[in-house]
Amino acid sequence: MTESSRMNRTTLDGERFKGIVIAATQRLIQTQQTLNRINVFPVADSDTGTNMALTMQRVADSARTCAYDNLDVVGETLADSAVMGARGNSGAILAQFFQGLSEGFSGRPKVTVTEFAESARHAAMRAREAIANPREGTILTVIHDWAQYVHERCLRTSDFPTLIRSSLRVATESLYRTPEKLRVLARAGVVDAGAQGFVHMLEGAVNFIRTGRIERVARELVALQTTRAVVKEAPESITYRYCTQAMIRSNRIDLGALKAILSPWGDSLIVAGSAQRVRVHIHTNDPEAVYSAAAAFGTVSDANADDMHAQHSLAHHDPGLDTVAIVTDSACDLPADVLIHHNIQVVPLLVTFGTDTYVDKITINADDFYRRLAATPEQPTTSQPAPGDFQRVYASLRGNYHHALVVCLSSALSGTYQAALAGARVFNEANEGLRVEVVDSRLVTGALGLVVLAAAEAAERGGDIEVVRRAAETAARNTRLFISVDTMEYLVRGGRVSPLRGAIARVLRLKPVLTISPGGKAVPAARSFGGRHARRKLIDLLEREVDGSSVGLHFLVGHAAAPESARWYASEIKSRFGVTDVPIVAVSPVLGAHAGPGAVGVAFTRSDTPL
Q: What is the residue-wise DSSP string for 520-546?
A: S-EEEEEEEESHHHHHHHHHHHHHHHH
Q: What is the mean pLDDT of the chain?
A: 85
Above 60 in pLDDT, residue 507?
Answer: no
Q: What is the CATH number of the domain that holds 7?
A: 1.25.40.340
In terms of domains, do 180 and 287 share one? no
Full domain range(s) for residue 273: 237-315
Residue 168, pLDDT > 60, answer: yes
140 lies in the same domain as 195: yes
Residues 195 and 82 in one domain: yes
pLDDT (0 to 100) of residue 489: 57
pLDDT at res. 493? 59
Q: What is the pLDDT of residue 608?
A: 61
Give the pLDDT score at 283: 92
CA end-to-end span of the chain? 35
For the segment 517-521, the average pLDDT, to the nearest whole number, is 92
- Given this model, what pLDDT does residue 340 score? 86
pLDDT (0 to 100) of residue 319: 41
Is the model's pLDDT at 467 over the cut of 60?
yes
The secondary structure of 188-256 as a DSSP string is HT---HHHHHHHHHHHHHHHHHHHS---SSPPPP-S---S-------GGG-SS-EEEEEEEE-S---HH
Report the pLDDT averaged over residues 378-393. Answer: 86
One domain, residues 308 and 332: no
Q: Quick one: 20 and 3 in the same domain?
A: yes
- Does the structure show a pLDDT above 50 at 508? no
Whether 423 and 460 map to the same domain: the answer is yes
Q: 1 and 69: one domain?
A: yes
Residues 291 and 347 in one domain: no
- The verdict on residue 421 lying in a domain is yes
pLDDT tens digits along 183-205 = 999 988 899 999 999 999 999 99
Instruction: Please check whether residues 121 and 177 belong to one and the same domain.
Output: yes
Q: Which of 27-36, 394-403, 576-585 has the highest mean pLDDT?
A: 576-585
| Count of structural domains within the chain | 4
Residue 593 is predicted with a pLDDT of 78
* pTM (predicted TM-score): 0.75
Kindly report, residue by residue over 348-381, the tens digit of the pLDDT.
898 888 888 888 887 787 888 888 887 877 788 8
Same domain, yes or no: 307 and 329: no
Pairing of strands 600-606, 584-586: unpaired
The proportion of the chain whose per-residue pLDDT surpasses 70, expressed as a percent, equals 86
Q: 152-155 long-range contacts, Cβ below 8 Å, gap at least 24? A: 153/117, 154/113, 154/114, 154/116, 154/117, 155/114
Mean pLDDT, residues 421-436 taken together: 89
